[in-house]
Amino acid sequence: MKRRDITLYVNEEKYELNVPVNKTLLQVLREDLGLMDTKYGCGLGECGACSVLLDGDKAILACLALAATMNGKHITTVRGLERDGELHPVQQAFVETGAIQCGFCTPGMIIKGVSMLARNPHPDETEIKHGLEGNLCRCTGYVKIIKAIQRAGELLDSRSSG
Amino acid sequence: MSTLVLPDFELLLPQNIAEAVGYLSQYGKDVTVMAGGTDVLCQIKGGLRPPYILSLAEIPDLDYVIYDPSKGLRIGAMATMAQVVENSAVKASYPALWQSAAQNGTPQTRNTATVVGNILRASPAGDCSCAIMAHGATVVLAGPDGTREVDIDEFWLDYLVTARKPDELAVEVKVRPPKKTARSAFSALNRTRQDLSKVSAAVLLEMDGKTCTDCRVVMGAVAPFILRLRGTEPHLKGAAVTEEVIAKVAAFASQEIRPIDDIRSTAEYRRAVCGPLLARTIRAALKAA
Amino acid sequence: MRYKLVGNRVVKVDAREKALGSALYIDDIVLPGMLYGKILRSPYAHARIVHIDISKALKAPGVKAVVTAKDLPGKGGGLVGPFIKDEPIFAVDKVRYVGEPVAAVAATDLAAADAAASLIHVEYEELPALFDPVEAMREGAPLIHDNVKGYFAVFDARRGGNVCSHTTFFEGDVERGFQESHVIVEETLRTPMQYQAYIEPIGAIAQFDGAGRVTVWSNTQGIFVTQDRICESLKIPMSKIRVIAPKIGGGFGGKIETTVQPHCVALAQKTGGRPVKIVLPREEDISNTRPRHPAIMSWKMGLKKDGTILASQMSAIFDSGAYADDGPGVVAVGAITARGPYRIRNIRMDSYCVYTNKVKTGAMRGFGNTQTTYSRECMLDIAARAVGMDPLELRMKNAIEPGDKSVGGQTLHSVGFKESLTAASEGLGWNRPKETKYRGRGMAGINHISGLLTVGSVVRLNEDGTFTIQCGAMDIGQGSDTVLVQIVAEEMGVPMDDVRLASGDTDATPYTWATTANRITYTGGNSVLLAARDVKRQMRDLAAQMLDTENLETKDKKIFAKGNPDKALTYHDLGKVSVWVKGGPLIGKSNFMVEEPTLDPRCAIGHPFGTPFSAWIFGTQAAEVEVDPDTGEVRVLKLVAAHDVGQAINVDGVEGQIEGGVVQGLGYGLCEAVLFDKGRITNPNLTDYKIPPAADVPEITPIIIETHDQTGPFGAKGIGEAALMGAAPAVANAIFDAIGVRVTELPMTAEKVLKAIQEKRAREAKAS
């Protein structure tokens, strides 16, 4: 086939699309759905700027996924994390800790943060550094990003207990 | 084309194995099989122009990781490296495989990339492939006339060439059940911590006290395919594993490998570090309880 | 001094929108009818263009425009370049590097543009190519530019053959200095081509309106630079060009000079008003933009037995690639900063900018100083070992102090260098016993400027009592928007939310050169501070008029007669009446530039610095490493970076710049290099152009030293570029300390380190 009808759930909204088979999920998100928060940085899976969540908490790369093979899948992008104007704890932590400079890696970093904390709610610095593999930042040197993820863990703790 | 835009191709989306095999029989060498897709899409962005891409994404029940102490480990064609890493049986019984999967690629690619895909790619630098060979395994291929199994020792024939026939689909890898006395480990050197390996090693040692009764010594990125060091193994097999023996093994290994210069490293460097890396891997295997 | 906002950690003004994913970058802008552009590039490093046939491309599906040099006014349009105008935007008679633009296509989608570009047939006649600047300087080498002296230059560049420029700074008498020295050390050190590797690739959109005006959106660090280059290359009047910058995803110098903007405009001229977008895929960005100049630096230093450095001499060859771009500036900055933060009376620094048939090199964080700091700081350690002195002691002994002068005679009012030496070495534990045999420690001293040229700005009291700043300075992620808002908010005594910065539009924001040269906090900060003081004065005058007294006090957004706080005028009140009482909102303005001359022309030949430098900044970075003697791998365990920034405005911002700069410096030192095979780049992707991932980052300790420069806004100077310069030499020196080998060519890969270890072992075996 050269085109395919697919259903995609993105940020809890249902989209019915007809896509060329050679379009990546990243292209469909940006070009067909107008969702610009997921970025292109390298196209080959190194920078992680195109990271999105599959099924709520699994980070995958939108630039290395064919949209036509994603029929029925549930995707969350960074703009799907906010609730009624309130930042998700991971977003809030990035804002508070000075972990955002140019901001281009930020959506991917936040997605990675959500995914990491879903599996390991209290990661130490070494675990975060290894968990950040696949997300490159050129501005911050990662130091405050690591602090942000630790802070996010604290915020998520207080959110679930409070 | 570029890393922004993919070229044209026909997508084949079989709903079961028989359909997949049917497509392979029909289109043969014109088909590139895509499991997780991270590697195939990188190849396409790098210039590969397959007329057909056969995606396994919609074939159900291929994503299993099943361990049985007597039968071994069965990894389905769509089982991801993340699934392998999250599997406690793998971590306990197949340390080399677990370690290789834990560092192959990045967390995002591991959520999509498959172990079987890594084996079929036949890259001489494939981390999971290196560990799988150390453990010993067979690749299960489904073809028009039924399934057959090929021992991993006979699976990689040449650079990027496997024993799979164009009309066959790899559906599973069966990793041998480890003996209770087996020790294994995987390690690699790379340019930065987020990188393909520039040289890697995986060992499986069957131990009787301090003596190694049998072993499989495997290295990656030192030959046109994952290399089993059959010339080096006899120096370890039957020996008490002392630092002297490790040094001897290391020296033989550095002569047995056939490294080249490439973008990641040089033949000279690979030959120089082969011994130390292998020694490190043997020590790591023995250290783990 | 304790301030309410300045000197604190504040949340950046753009943090929330970036966390939400709603910040708009160039590729997020989609306009109705938009077309996509693709540049066709030369596959040869040096070749004559015999013939270009675009006929098939014109007929290809979806194509709306095809351009080559022939479509530009005159012979291939105007030549561009900041110092020397030698670069056409499309190759005219010949191509000078693999990747040079030869043609461009605009089509309805990117795939169609890609396909059409490949249908353009270009016939080339290959010419002998030069890839080594030393070869290019030889007598009789093939000429890359037929007549370098024929190009317009803004200074006397002393050029000829394949030499684009030659700058020399000298003070005292180096020959005499060497004669008086007890010990002389010499070495040649090499640095690679480093790529900025901003995570957001370069892009632009151009659209003409019905009146023949073009609007260009681009992630440029210099909207006014972009405006000028489009004007020069396409001969479009400045009044008909508007450049707007959206959010920028990192720059590090790579997004200043010409990359794709004029090509977008050239295409847009032919599309009947439809906008044309070019956003580079990563492989094109790495290969065809403006990476850092590789350099070969030959040093000679002479010192007394007691460690006093008497003479320092450097001859440096910088590889400019095919065009000048920022080259003349880079080599000059590299030369004038090469002496370093040390009292050395006799110096001679010669810097050559040389053409080769490789991608043109340009500005990258440090701008020549990164290269010379690396080599100089290695030399200082070599010198220290030669006289048996601790490298920290040698630096301390020769360190400059407040009141000393920079090369060229600029008085340095605030100098926190010695403090940074102490802070970095103590922070690292310089004299602690080492935990294992293969651990080592090393350090590097840093000096840099904090800007030059002008910044204009306007601060307006809005009718509702809030403030708007208009300033053309671009925030490329370093946080300048936040700093400028902080400065004005502090000065006006209001919360940051009451101040809005409008920037990045050549139609609407006053001129500033660009975000580069470490300059926005100092020159931009001074500018907005002066404009804020201007509007503050006017507010006071208006209040005095309305309250009928000069005896006023300001507090909490209110102005009142001293002792009479109940009869106060709020800023809002002043804003409300200003139109009818004063004729309009109160508007303060400034056009700031440093005035005190900073360079005695008698100590310089062939330099482009017609205007003064700002205050100088200083720092020390110290690293501890562990070397694996069997594999040559270097693990950086800890890095302490102490920087004299004058006064931190946003503490999180300064720390973030230090931390980010350190990691870029570690990449420069250990793993980054653009690799070539005869002019063709062999690692044009982030898979093989390795930048440090988080897992490789050591423990980094940023230390802020505040010397409160009297000329800076609230005493501030700068930090951005200096932060990158220390890591590579500190690590190089630490490796020597650990294992006694010095790799003199960056990056210090495991391959090179292991080879050096093996050679040392072989030498020692021979000797015994």
Q: Which residues of A touch B4 (CB under 8 A)?
A: 40, 43
Whole-number Å distance between alpha carbons of C592 and C715: 16
Nearest to C688 among B2, B263, B268 (CB): B263
Burial zone of C403 (CB within 10 Å; 0-12 exposed, 13-18 middle, 19+ buried): exposed
Best of C27, C114, C631 to mutate (most B CBs within 10 Å, chain B) = C631
Chain A / chain C CB contacts < 8 angstroms: 173
Pairing of strands A3-10, B10-12: unpaired
User: Where residue A17 sits, what CATH number does that domain have?
Assistant: 3.10.20.30
Domains and CATH numbers, chain C: 15-22+453-592 (3.30.365.10), 31-127+202-279 (3.90.1170.50), 359-451+613-767 (3.30.365.10)
Contact (Cβ atoms closer than 8 angstroms) between residue C103 and residue C68: yes
Q: Domain of residue A123: give its range.
A: 89-161
B102 plus B171 within the same structural domain: yes
Provide the pLDDT confidence category of residue B289 given band limits of 50, 70 and 90. low
3-state secondary structure of B144: coil
Q: How far lies C282's CA from each of B40, C51, C287, C459, in Å?
A: 18, 29, 9, 39
In a domain, B196, yes or no: yes
Q: Please state, for a pLDDT cut of 70, what percent of chain C lies above it.
A: 100
Query: What is the CA angle C708-C481-C575, rounded to 5?
Result: 95
Q: What is the DSSP letter of C431?
A: T
- pLDDT per residue over B195-207, tens digit each? 999 999 999 999 9
Give CA–CA dist C196/C289, Å, rounded: 10
What are the CA-CA distances from residue C162 to residues C152, C167, C324, C353 (Å)?
16, 15, 11, 9
Identity of the residue in A103, A136, A140 whose CB atom sits nearest the CB atom of C249: A103
Chain B environment of C693 (Cβ under 8 Å): 192-194
DSSP state of A68: G
Note whether C28 and C200 are within 8 A (CB). Answer: no
- C477–A139 C-beta distance less than 8 A: yes
The verdict on a CB contact (< 8 Å) between B108 and A45 is: yes
Q: Residue C84 pairs with which residues in a beta bridge?
A: C153
To the nearest whole angstrom, how far is the Cα of C726 from the nearest Cα of chain B? Answer: 20
Distance from CA of B187 to the nearest CA of A (A): 16
Assigned domain for B5 exists: no
Residue showing tokens 């301390």:
C396
Contact check, Cβ <8 Å, A43/B2 = yes
A70 and A132 in a single domain? The answer is no
Domain count of the fold of chain B: 3
Interface test with A, best of B103, B106, B110, B193 (most A CBs within 10 A): B106
Asked if B3's CB is within 8 angstroms of C281's CB, the reply is yes
Mean pLDDT on B66-88: 98
For residue B3, being part of any structural domain is answered with: no
Do A104 and A144 lie in a common domain?
A: yes
B58 close to A (CB below 8 A)? yes
Nearest to A41 by CA among C363, C201, C258, C612: C201
The residues of A whose Cβ lies within 8 A of any Cβ of B are 1-2, 4, 21-24, 40, 42-46, 48, 51, 54, 58-61, 63-66, 68-71, 112, 115-116, 130-131, 133-136
Q: Report the distance separating Cα C445 and Cα C55, nearest Å.
A: 58
Q: Which of C13, C26, C30, C199 to mutate to test the interface with A (most CBs of A within 10 A)?
A: C199
For C686, nearest residue in chain B (alpha carbons): B195
C762 touches chain B (CB under 8 A): no
C478-489 in b/e form (b: 16+ CB < 10 A) is: bbbbbbbbbbbb
In a shared domain, residues A47 and A104: no
Residues forming a β-bridge with C208: C214
> How distant is the Cα of B38 from the closest Cα of chain C, in angstroms?
13
Q: Which of B4, B195, B264 sits opposite C110 (nearest CB)?
A: B4
Same domain, A9 and A74: yes
pLDDT at C643: 98
Q: How far apart are CA C414 and CA C402, in angstroms?
A: 5
Q: Which residues pair with C560 in a beta bridge?
A: C553, C568
In A, which residues are within 8 Å of C477 by CB distance? 101-104, 139
Kindly state whether residues B274 and B188 are assigned to the same domain: yes
Whether B246 and chain C come into contact, CB under 8 Å, resolves to no
Residue with tokens 């379009």: A23
A129·C694 Cβ contact <8 A = yes
Q: d(Cα A80, Cα A78) in Å, to the nearest integer?
A: 5
Q: Any residues with CB less than 8 A from the CB of C281 and at least 6 apart, and which?
A: A43, B2, B3, B4, C201
Subunit contact A22:B105, Cβ cutoff 8 A: no
Please provide the average confidence, as pLDDT, over all residues in chain C: 96
- Give the number of A-B residue pairs with CB atoms closer than 8 Å: 102
Neighbours of C152 (CB within 10 A): 12
Do B133 and B92 lie in one domain? The reply is yes
- Length, in residues, of chain B: 289
Q: In chain B, count of helices (H) and strands (E)?
A: 10, 14
Mind telling me how many Å the CA of B184 is from chain C's nearest CA?
22
Residues B45 and B120 reside in one and the same domain? no
- Report if residue B1 sits inside a domain: no
Residues A100 and A72 in one domain: no
- Residue A34 to residue C30, Cβ atoms within 8 A: yes
Determine the residue among B8, B42, B192 to mutate to test chain C binding: the one whose Cβ has the most chain C Cβ atoms within 10 Å: B192
Residue B60 belongs to a domain: no
CA distances from B158 to B114, B122, B161, C260 (A): 21, 8, 5, 44
pLDDT tens digits, one per residue of C513-560? 999 988 999 999 999 999 999 999 999 999 999 999 999 999 999 999
**Which of A43, A101, A138 minimises the CB distance to C691?**
A138
Query: Residue A103 belongs to a domain with what CATH number?
Result: 1.10.150.120
With respect to residue B4, please indicate whether it lies within any of the assigned structural domains: no
Q: Is the pLDDT assigned to residue C499 strictly greater than 70? A: yes
Which two structure tokens, joined as six digits, stand for C327?
């080259």
Contact B109 A45 (CB under 8 A): yes
Give yes or no for a contact between C711 and C594, defined as CB atoms under 8 angstroms apart. Answer: yes
CA distance B169 to chain C (A): 29
Q: Are residues B121 and B83 in the same domain?
A: yes
Distance CA B238, CA B240 (A): 7
Question: How close is the nearest chain C Cα to the Cα of A45, in Å?
Answer: 8
Nearest CA in chain C to A94: C19
Q: Answer yes or no: do B166 and B186 share one domain.
A: no
Give the other-Cβ count within 10 Å of C600's Cβ: 13
Closest to B137 (Cα-Cα) out of B162, B173, B169: B173
Dihedral of alpha carbons B262, B264, B269, B271, sign? negative
| Judgement on whether residues B89 and B124 belong to the same structural domain of the protein | yes
Give me the CATH number covering residue B91. 3.30.465.10
Q: Which residues, numbered 67 to 126 in chain A, qualify as contacts with chain C under a Cβ-Cβ cut-off of 8 Å?
A: 77-79, 82, 87, 91-92, 94-98, 100-107, 110
What's residue A162's pLDDT?
A: 58
Closest residue on chain A to B112 (Cα): A60
C55, amino acid identity: S
* CA–CA separation, C151 and C157 (whole Å): 11
State the pLDDT confidence band at C396, using cuts at 50, 70 and 90.
Answer: very high
Two tokens at C557?
Answer: 């957004």
Contact between chains at B111 and A58 (C-beta distance less than 8 A): yes
B22 lies in which domain range? 10-55
Give the H or E element holding residue C703.
Answer: strand C699-705
Tell me how far apart the alpha carbons of residues C5 and C16 are, in angstroms, rounded to a whole number.
19
C449-477: average pLDDT: 95
**Distance (Å) from the C-alpha of residue A63 to the closest C-alpha of chain C?**
12
Residue with tokens 């050549």: C506
Quick check: bond before C747 cis, omega within 30? yes
- What would the DSSP string read from start to end of C18-75? HHHT---BGGG---TT-EEEEEEE-SSSSEEEEEEE-HHHHHSTTEEEEEEGGGSHHH
pLDDT in tens, C261-319: 999 999 999 999 999 999 999 999 999 999 999 999 999 999 999 999 999 999 999 99
When pLDDT is cut at 50, 70 and 90, the band that residue A159 belongs to is confident
Q: Given a cut of 80, is residue A161 above it in pLDDT?
A: no
The residue of C8, C10, C17, C18 whose CB has the most chain A CBs within 10 angstroms, and thus the best one to mutate to test that interface, is C18
Domain identity same for A37 and A98: no
Q: What percent of chain B has pLDDT over 70?
A: 100
CA distance C265 to C260: 9
What span, in angstroms and rounded, lies between the C-alpha atoms of C310 and C174?
Answer: 8
Chain C 732-751, residues with CB within 8 Å of chain B CB atoms: 749-751
Same domain assignment for residues A118 and A76: no
Is A46 in the same domain as A113? no
Three-state SS for C553? strand
Read off the DSSP letter of residue C384.
H
In total, chain A counts a number of residues equal to 162
Q: CB C631 to CB B196 under 8 A?
A: no
* Residue A100 and residue A126 share a domain: yes
- The pair phi, psi for residue C390, each rounded to 5°, is -60, 130
Q: Are C455 and C512 in contact (CB under 8 A)?
A: yes
ipTM: 0.98
Look up the pTM and report it: 0.97
Asked if the Cβ–Cβ distance from C656 to A141 is below 8 Å, we say yes
Query: Are both B204 and B235 inside the same structural domain?
Result: yes
Number of domains within chain A: 2
Token pair listed for C594: 């440093």
As a whole number, mean pLDDT of residues A143-147 equals 98
CA–CA distances in Å: residue B70 to residues B93, B180, C364, C559: 12, 11, 60, 86
Same domain, A24 and A72: yes
Task: Let me know whether B282 and B211 are in one domain.
Answer: yes
A59-97 residues labelled b (16+ CB within 10 A) or e (exposed): bbbbbbbbbbbbbebebbbbbbbbeeeebbbbbbbbbbb
If asked whether residues A106 and A152 sit together in one domain, one would say yes
Nearest to B38 among A48, A61, A130 (CB): A61
Backbone dihedral region for residue C695 (phi beyond 0: left; psi -120 to 50: alpha; all else: beta): alpha
Domain boundary among A62, A80, A98: A80
Spatial CA neighbour of C276 closest among C258, C260, C261, C264: C264
Q: Which of C744, C766, C746, C743 is nearest to C754 (CA)?
A: C743
Please name the chains neighbouring B, where neighbouring means 3+ C-beta pairs under 8 angstroms: A, C
* Token pair in block for residue C88: 């056409």
Q: Give the CATH number, domain containing residue B41.
A: 3.30.43.10
B163 and B69, same structural domain? Answer: yes
Q: What span, in angstroms and rounded, lies between the C-alpha atoms of B191 and B198?
A: 7
**Which of the listed residues B126, B154, B175 is the one where a domain comes to its end?**
B175
pLDDT at C768: 83
How far lies B74's CA from each of B174, B182, C381, in Å? Answer: 5, 18, 58
What's the whole-number mean pLDDT along residues A64-68?
98
For residues B204 and B258, membership in a common domain is answered with yes
Q: Is residue A73 domain-shared with residue A114, that is, in the same domain?
A: no
Q: Does B1 touch chain A (CB under 8 A)?
A: no
Residue B105 binned pLDDT confidence (cut-offs 50, 70, 90): very high
Q: How far apart are CA C300 and CA B257, in angstroms?
A: 44
Query: Residue type at C2?
Result: R
